[in-house]
Amino acid sequence: MEAMRRTVLGILAGLLLVTATSCTVTTKDPDYVTPAALPPLEQLKQAPVSQPTALAATGDVLAFVTEDRNIVCALTSAKGDNLNLPYETNSFADPANTKLATVPIAHCELAHYPKPDSKDIKDDCAGTGLGYLGGAALVRPDKAVYGECRSGVTQMEAEFGPKGTKNGPISQLPVLEDGQNIERNGLRCSAYNGGVACGNVSAGVAFFVSRSTYQLVEPPEPTQSPGTQAPTPATTAPKSA
């Protein structure tokens, strides 16, 4: 009986030893600081581009929505101010636009979004100075803008905003998961840091949008070479009497 008791105690001791040695205790480092997210252009430069199979292009358009259904974007084309968007009514294919040059663009709309800063308002909305709203971002090969002249809500806001229907063309689009990146026609988009960055890496132009903030990145103004004179501004001679 004593021998059996010793055997049982030995087995229990062995089990306790295995449990103790295989258990890992993780403690939070009070001094650890989460690394800051990369600026939009750096994120686009460093992000590995791997086209998710679900994000197959339809014609000339590659469109996606974010996991939280707050942002929809399209890598597509424009003719002048006519954007080829699968989620907004547009006149891109109108025969009257055939003479306009076709350029690649990246466009995003948001359901919840910040207001545009006064310095970023680039349109006086037909001279009214009214109706320039946030919730849309656009990057062309040489510039990035946030906001647009419109009345009412964006399609993204109509579907997934506070009074959204959750039903429409955007609800059918594939998801670009956080950390995924895509590229088309020289433009890239990356879902990261709770939002989306899109831009033209080679030209140094990009934007980042999220529900609480946005950033615009444009190349610096060309600097004047040493020893060169700035051109003299044209002057108008006074009219003779």
Q: Is residue 86 included in any domain, yes or no?
A: yes
Task: Give CA–CA dist 4/161, Å, rounded.
Answer: 71
Q: Is residue 39 included in any domain, yes or no?
A: no
Q: Is residue 138 included in any domain, yes or no?
A: yes
For 161-183, write each residue's pLDDT tens digit. Answer: 998 999 999 999 999 999 999 99
| Range(s) of the domain holding residue 57 | 52-217
Q: Is residue 18 included in any domain, yes or no?
A: no
Q: Is residue 196 included in any domain, yes or no?
A: yes
pTM of the model: 0.75
| Long-range Cβ contact pairs of 54-62 (< 8 A, separation 24 or more) | 54/174, 54/175, 55/174, 55/176, 55/182, 57/184, 58/86, 60/84, 61/85, 61/86, 62/182, 62/184
Q: Is residue 33 included in any domain, yes or no?
A: no
For 44-94, write each residue's pLDDT tens digit. Answer: 988 777 666 566 656 689 999 999 999 999 999 999 999 999 999 888 989
Q: Is residue 177 included in any domain, yes or no?
A: yes
Q: Is residue 8 included in any domain, yes or no?
A: no
- Give the total number of structural domains in the chain: 1
